[in-house]
Structure 1
Amino acid sequence: MTPGSPAVAVVVPVHNEAELLDDCLAALTAAIEHTRRTHPGVLVSAVVVLDACTDASARIARSWPVRTLSIDARNVGTARRQGVAALLAGLASPEDVWISTTDGDSVVPVAWLSHQLDLRAAGADVVLGTVRPDFADLTVEHAEHWLQTHPRGHPAGNVHGANLGLRADVYLAAGEFADLDQHEDVELVRAARAHGARVVATDGNEVITSGRFWGRTPGGYAAFVRATHERIAGVG
């Protein structure tokens, strides 16, 4: 990325996601190519932060047109922060940079980045996108429950690191991602709100994430999916 140029910095933290990472990066690559067509002149760079990976995640990530960064933090907040720092290095004008984050177990839609940029152009400082579990991982009852409780056009405004975007200057003013093993995204948005950021919620470009019950963070999205399943199934 060239200092002073409009830019998008995409960060994907990964810890042992070999089974899902190809799908994640195929979708991300398509979204980046779409953005370059719809927003000519905007430079897009992506980094996959390989955090203490012991599987084939590194080999898979290096087969895609993304930058890779290897760390050993075992901490999603640290991974996100170091990824952002790596992409922002050398940029003179953070207000010209848009940061987007997703996860290695997630699949973004093709208009994901362009939609965030359009919302930014309309005045958004922070964009909260919706996330839904992969219905292939759920029971029919669970999938139907999800659809009934998430009506289109009414985003709840929940914070998901798998579908989050914000201006880089707002990110820096909010104190960056903290060294938290969960809810680092929630804390960042809380701090951005405290600094007066305009936060916009949208379900216009929903990200599909794994519907697994046991995730990489103790209280992350997988815990929500598991708790919902148990409630529907009457477990416990």
Structure 2
Amino acid sequence: MVAIPAKNESLLLGACLRSVNETVRSLRLGTGVGSVCVMVALDGCTDGTAAVAERAGAQTVMSEAGGVGAARDQAVNRGLAHLHLLAGPHVWVACTDADSLVPPNWLTEQLRHADAGADMVVGTVQPAMEGGERRSAWDRRHRLVEGHPHVHGANLGLRASTWAAVGGFGVGAAHEDVRLVERVRQARFASVATDTTRVTTSARPWGRAEGGFADYLRALDGQVG
């Protein structure tokens, strides 16, 4: 299943879901996998995000707890219920964000790592920006390679049983992805950090979560050296 939190993302969610639908098609063509649920958690949305999700064929669930961590967990819980599945080791949860574009091989590569024994796959992202001081600062601080040290909720996959074992993402307005990855690694589940599933994410300077990715990008200004 694919879990996507969205907070007033009517302008960007459509493109995200088109990329997700493409990776689902690639997965089905390559492996014959049948049931895949794409679940969008509507995090207190007041715009047309729900309608965009429904037009793209995604399932939706209202998340009123507040915060991206709770929304991610709500998406996973409702996705499991939609598929009539328990949080077992054979259920894979792929996470991205509503302002992001996943590559066609995104799910195929995550599941390839899972088949090789990984309980969690931590991918890379690249911001959708060309040149400039901010991009230079980003490039100097991010080596997108195998075994990279980065964590992004926009590119993360794990077994449902692993997600459940560490208590899910938990409540939090930001950095819920980092905390989950830390707990998974501390619990000694097998994890892989890979650049084979690179996701493109928005480079907007003002995001939906205080202390989130947009704030990080703004902080790069003036840090080229």
Tell me the TM-score normalised to structure 1 length: 0.88
Distance 1:130 1:152 in 2: 6
Tell me the number of residue pairs that the alignment of Structure 1 and Structure 2 aligns. 223
The structural deviation recorded for 1:152 is 4.5
The structural deviation recorded for 1:154 is 4.6
Kindly provide the CA deviation profile for residues 188-211 of structure 1, in whole angstroms up to 9, marking residues without a partner as x.
111111221111101112111110
Does 2:118 match 1:124?
Answer: yes
1:6 alignment counterpart: none
Question: What is the percentage of aligned positions where both structures have the same residue?
Answer: 40
Kindly provide the CA deviation profile for residues 51-99 of structure 1, in whole angstroms up to 9, marking residues without a partner as x.
1111121111110111111222231111011110111223146111001
Distance 2:34 2:19 in 1: 19
Does 2:100 match 1:106?
Answer: yes
2:219 alignment counterpart: 227
User: What's the secondary structure of 2:8's corresponding residue?
Assistant: coil
* One-letter identity of the residue aligned with 2:60: T
User: What's the secondary structure of 1:231's corresponding residue?
Assistant: coil
Does the C-alpha gap of structure 1 residues 120 and 222 become closer, same or farther in structure 2, counting only changes over 3 Å?
A: same
CA contact under 8 A between 1:129 and 1:157: conserved in structure 2?
Answer: no
Runs of 4+ in 1 over 3 A off after TM superposition: 144-152
User: What's the secondary structure of 1:62's corresponding residue?
Assistant: helix
2:196 alignment counterpart: 204
2:48 alignment counterpart: 56
Unaligned stretches of 5+ residues in structure 1: 1-8
1:134 alignment counterpart: 128
Distance 1:230 1:220 in 2: 19
Does the C-alpha gap of structure 1 residues 183 and 151 become closer, same or farther in structure 2, counting only changes over 3 Å?
A: closer
Distance 1:67 1:231 in 2: 41
Tell me the TM-score normalised to structure 2 length: 0.92
Does the C-alpha gap of structure 1 residues 152 and 11 become closer, same or farther in structure 2, counting only changes over 3 Å?
A: closer
Choose which of 5, 14, 17 in structure 2 pairs with 1:13.
5
* One-letter identity of the residue aligned with 2:169: F
User: What's the secondary structure of 1:204's corresponding residue?
Assistant: coil
Distance 1:87 1:57 in 2: 18
1:75 alignment counterpart: 67
Does 2:11 match 1:26?
Answer: no
CA contact under 8 A between 1:130 and 1:155: conserved in structure 2?
Answer: no
The structural deviation recorded for 1:31 is 0.8
2:184 alignment counterpart: 192
Does the C-alpha gap of structure 1 residues 229 and 33 become closer, same or farther in structure 2, counting only changes over 3 Å?
A: same
Kindly provide the CA deviation profile for residues 169-206 of structure 1, in whole angstroms up to 9, marking residues without a partner as x.
11111111101111111111111112211111011121
CA contact under 8 A between 2:27 and 2:33: conserved in structure 1?
Answer: no
Distance 2:186 2:143 in 1: 29
2:77 alignment counterpart: 85
Distance 1:80 1:20 in 2: 18
In terms of fraction of residues, the more strand-rich structure is 1
The structural deviation recorded for 1:32 is 0.8
Unaligned stretches of 5+ residues in structure 2: none
* One-letter identity of the residue aligned with 1:150: H
* One-letter identity of the residue aligned with 2:115: A
Kindly provide the CA deviation profile for residues 74-129 of structure 1, in whole angstroms up to 9, marking residues without a partner as x.
31111011110111223146111001100001111111111100011111111100
